[in-house]
A and B are shown apart, each in its own frame.
Chain A
Amino acid sequence: MPVFHTKTIESILEPVAQQISHLVIMHEEGEVDGKAIPDLTAPVAAVQAAVSNLVRVGKETVQTTEDAIMRRDMPPAFIKVENACTKLVQAALMLKADPYSVQARDYLIDGSRGILSGTSDLLLTFDEAEVRKIIRVCKGILEYLTVAEVVESMEDLITYTKNLGPGMTKMAKMIDERQQELTHQEHRVMLVNSMNTVKELLPVLISGMTKMAKMIDERQQELTHQEHRVMLVNSMNTVKELLPVLISGLCVLFCGHG
């Protein structure tokens, strides 16, 4: 089971996670007991500079984003990363004075873990914002699908399909990119299957609407009010079948977030 739910996050955090895990095991097994840790001032300074830049850029993003959830979730991640960095700085200072300091060693482990946890939170916050962008597009499509209810002429239908097309293409592209990003095979399969169902049902919907519009356009007098209603209801049922399929597909996107 992969630890990180997207390939981007995995590629960024996996090397750090592995190194921290390796060092923690070495310390826990006492492999390094009694050995001096050298001066780490320079690499810690590099971390400090990187954290400082990251927080600055992140805060600028928080100020400009329209995503309220991102505005809420990002600052705690900054604090976590900054606190972790402070621990690393303290550890470096302590080691300069005492290369055998046990407390400094603990600070190094805590600080490294804190950086991993904080940056993970930060990347998750960003990823969730990306998912919300996809969901906004899908919701737009869902809303537009309900417009099918009022399409009764061929002219309306042409306009309807013309308007639906670009949104559908955009949604399909976003979902395809997303499924390629997911590390959990079962999530990927669910998302692909849901999207395929939508792709299969859409022509069925359009075909049903076409039939109905044609009949109305041809002014078939024998079409009773009752028959007209039945056709409309059938058409709407197809639309209604699409909704849960799409929604369940979108829920998959969040599975990796717990």
Chain B
Amino acid sequence: IRVGWELLLTTIARTINEIETQILTRDA
């Protein structure tokens, strides 16, 4: 479970960063 939660939170952080990039790209 340690790997599970850490992995999920890491994926969430990466996903949010990716969405931020998407917003910046589309906005530009």
Contact = CB atoms under 8 A, between A and B. Distances in A.
Interface of A: 8, 12-13, 15-16, 19-20, 22-23, 26, 32, 35, 37-38, 40, 43-44, 46-47, 49-51, 53-54, 57-58, 60-61, 64-65, 81, 88, 108, 112, 115, 119, 122-123, 126, 130
22 contacts: A12-B18, A16-B8, A16-B11, A19-B7, A19-B11, A20-B8, A23-B5, A26-B4, A35-B1, A37-B1, A38-B5, A40-B5, A40-B6, A46-B10, A46-B13, A47-B12, A50-B16, A60-B27, A61-B27, A65-B27, A112-B12, A119-B19
A145 B14 CA distance: 46
What 6 A-B pairs have minimum CB-CB distances, sorted nearest first? Answer: A43-B9, A50-B16, A46-B13, A50-B13, A19-B8, A54-B20
B22 to A, nearest CB: 7
Dominant secondary structure at the A interface: helix
Given A47-B13, A54-B20, A26 B8 contact: no
Contacts of A57: 20, 23-24
Nearest to A116: B12
A5 to B, nearest CB: 16
A53 B1 contact: no
Given A12-B15, A53-B20, A112-B12, 20 more contacts: A12-B22, A15-B15, A22-B4, A26-B4, A37-B2, A40-B9, A46-B10, A46-B13, A47-B13, A50-B20, A53-B17, A54-B19, A57-B23, A60-B27, A61-B23, A64-B27, A115-B12, A123-B19, A123-B22, A126-B26
Task: Sort chain B's interface into a size bin.
Answer: 20 to 34
B4 A23 contact: yes
Nearest to B9: A43
